[in-house]
Chains A and B, each alone.
Chain A
Amino acid sequence: MIQPLLSTKGVSKCFGGLKAVDGVDFDVFPGEILGILGPNGAGKTVLFNLISGIYQPTAGKVYFHNDRIDGLPPHLVARKGIGRTFQIVRPFATLTVLQNLLVARGITRYGHLSKVWGSWGSQSEIKAAMEVLEKVGLTELAHRKAGLLPLGNLRRLEIARALVVGHTLLLLDESFSGLRHEEILHLEALIQKIRGDGRTVILIEHNMRVAMGLCERIVVLDHGQKIAEGPPSIIQQNEQVIEAYLGRKGITYAA
């Protein structure tokens, strides 16, 4: 049997009396694209925050490569090889696109105070960053201030920033929201390409069509609990999922 790359065992997070994530178990296997679906407030982003160390779980465990990573602060989770993007794009606005990537490239040195006094942007660093920019299609914009880019490019920048480090697992939080149709197509192709490089991707997605087309397996959350898990074709037929998405009765439109 294949070892999972990441697995959560009964992770829960309470905010006061509210259980935002409630005993969620799931595994991600190397090289797959896993989708996390669910209506607004289902706990998807909280789950990402639990994995990436922004929140500490109230209960449960998170394993990455068989190491426990719950309770680690975000910078240590990142150094273990988990990259993430955020639902609201947050570039370092006053740095250039290239510098945004170079900041991320420092990840292997930030743990050693003696190594960060050297200058950033050696030739090899810049080369590695430019390669990633080419992959995501931002080469021409390398020297622009990131704060000036339109949304579609910012999403690419976020992914590039997560890619440039060579993370093995990428968590993408609603990377498709707010994009135009052709931008969606580009991004889908990019994610396929990233997976082709041997990385594993978990993505939170609101857009059913995108999620169904891209993911091999889908985990559906509702009210913090996992209500379904499986390949898209089965998820689409699942009564509970349809109910969670469409409401109990009478409501005939989807999100």
Chain B
Amino acid sequence: MRLFIEQLLNGIAMGSIYALVTLGLALVYGIMRILHVAHAAVFTIGAYAGLFLFQLTGSLIVAFLGSMACCALLGVMIERFVYFPLMKYPPYVPLIGSIAVMLSIEEVCRLVAGPYILTFPAKLPFPDVYLGGIQISSTLIAVYSITAAVLLVLWYITTHTELGLAMRATSQDISISGAMGINSHVIITLTFVMGSAIAAIAGMLVGIYYNQVYPTMGTVPAYKTLALIVVGGLGSVPGAVIASMLLGTAETLLIGYANIPLPRDALAFIAMIGVLMWRSEGLLGSSR
């Protein structure tokens, strides 16, 4: 029982991190109908920028904020200089551009920071918690609380503010929103700012959680989040979050219990193929 609960806690943390990365992808897909593969590279940069700022200043807060700002800028630049000029071509063109950006950023990380695994020796400013004999590490608490805060803020913005209404309108129909006076370019820019800043948080959390930062840390998230937005229902943000949570929990539990001689990622993809065979439009997708 105790093992089960510990696995469950780890699984939820895994799911939370998937959710943070997938969110950005779902937001961008919803508004531009582009598969933003390079988002995973933004996540990697988030981890590196956070680590660098942490070593420089010793403050986790500065590291988080700085890394978020840095990734927001990177996301906006990718949109301006890669997606915007390629939007007039069929969707596979920006997709290829996105893959190119992702590989380039990985290589830049390798060149600048070296091909090694760096450690992220951050000490969180609060202690582990013991609940009924089960230890919940401070890292897990950070993952839970930050994810909850991000989801809450995002939920509030999309459902309660005028900006959120404008974002939802733009993701449904860019030209009609234009006729309603909404500047779609500002909305797109803000979407990239939000998604990329959230990816920065995810990158840092992964760095701290596994105490590892390395150039290709975005590769597995790249294809996993891609599959997750499909499983969640393309363009559906709640769907993407639910799919991420389920996958993180399921794969961690499977690894802990079932003695299957397959790597974790293989299991994850088998599970996702299963979901898509059952519901081809994704968990919360609409068939449009």
Alpha-carbon gap, A83 to B180, bound state (A): 8
Q: Cβ of B157: which chain A residues have Cβ within 8 Å of it?
A: 117
1/0 per residue, CB under 8 A from A, across B168-185: the answer is: 110011011111111110
With A92-B168, A92-B172 as known contacts, state yes or no: A74 contacts B178, CB within 8 Å: yes
Among B176-217, those with CB < 8 Å from A are 176-184, 186
Q: How far is the CB of A159 from chain B (nearest CB, A)?
A: 13
Tell whether, in the assembled complex, residue A74 and residue B175 are in contact, meaning their CB atoms are under 8 Å apart: yes
Q: Which among A54, A73, A118 is the interface contact of B162 at CB below 8 angstroms?
A: A118
**In the complex, what residue of chain A is closest to B174 when comparing beta carbons?**
A74
Alpha-carbon gap, A73 to B183, bound state (A): 9
Alpha-carbon gap, A177 to B159, bound state (A): 35
With A54-B175, A90-B173, A94-B168 as known contacts, state yes or no: A165 contacts B162, CB within 8 Å: no
Q: Which among A54, A75, A94 is the interface contact of B181 at CB below 8 angstroms?
A: A75
Tell me, yes or no, whether B55 is within 8 Å of chain A by CB.
no
Tell me, yes or no, whether A52 is within 8 Å of chain B by CB.
yes
Q: Cβ of A93: which chain B residues have Cβ within 8 Å of it?
A: 172
Alpha-carbon gap, A108 to B175, bound state (A): 18
Tell whether, in the assembled complex, residue A116 and residue B160 are in contact, meaning their CB atoms are under 8 Å apart: no
With A94-B172, A113-B186 as known contacts, state yes or no: A83 contacts B179, CB within 8 Å: yes
With A93-B172, A95-B168 as known contacts, state yes or no: A116 contacts B161, CB within 8 Å: yes
* Residue of A73, A99, A103 contacting most chain B CB atoms (<10 Å): A103
Tell whether, in the assembled complex, residue A107 and residue B181 are in contact, meaning their CB atoms are under 8 Å apart: yes
With A54-B175, A74-B175, A86-B176 as known contacts, state yes or no: A103 contacts B183, CB within 8 Å: no
Tell me, yes or no, whether A68 is within 8 Å of chain B by CB.
no
Q: Cβ of A74: which chain B residues have Cβ within 8 Å of it?
A: 175, 178-179
With A54-B175, A93-B172, A103-B169 as known contacts, state yes or no: A120 contacts B160, CB within 8 Å: yes
Among A108-123, those with CB < 8 Å from B are 108-111, 113, 115-120
Chain B interface, >50% SS class: helix
Q: Cβ of B176: which chain A residues have Cβ within 8 Å of it?
A: 86, 90, 92
With A92-B173, A103-B169, A113-B186 as known contacts, state yes or no: A78 contacts B163, CB within 8 Å: no
**In the complex, what residue of chain B is closest to A85 when comparing beta carbons?**
B179
With A75-B184, A95-B168 as known contacts, state yes or no: A119 contacts B161, CB within 8 Å: yes
Q: Cβ of A118: which chain B residues have Cβ within 8 Å of it?
A: 161-162
Tell me, yes or no, whether B73 is within 8 Å of chain A by CB.
no
Alpha-carbon gap, A116 to B160, bound state (A): 10
Alpha-carbon gap, A84 to B168, bound state (A): 20
| A interface residues (Cβ-Cβ under 8 A, vs B) | 52-54, 73-75, 78-79, 83-84, 86, 90, 92-95, 99, 102-104, 106-111, 113, 115-120, 161-162, 165
Please name 13 further chain A to chain B contacts, defined as beta carbons within 8 Å, in addition to the given A75-B181, A103-B177, sorted by A numbering.
A75-B178, A79-B181, A95-B169, A103-B165, A103-B166, A103-B169, A104-B180, A106-B162, A106-B180, A108-B181, A120-B161, A120-B165, A162-B179
A to B CB contacts below 8 Å, 28 in the list: A52-B179, A54-B175, A74-B175, A74-B178, A75-B179, A75-B183, A75-B184, A78-B178, A78-B179, A78-B180, A79-B181, A93-B172, A95-B169, A102-B165, A106-B180, A106-B181, A108-B181, A110-B181, A110-B186, A116-B166, A117-B157, A117-B161, A117-B162, A118-B161, A119-B162, A120-B162, A120-B165, A165-B180
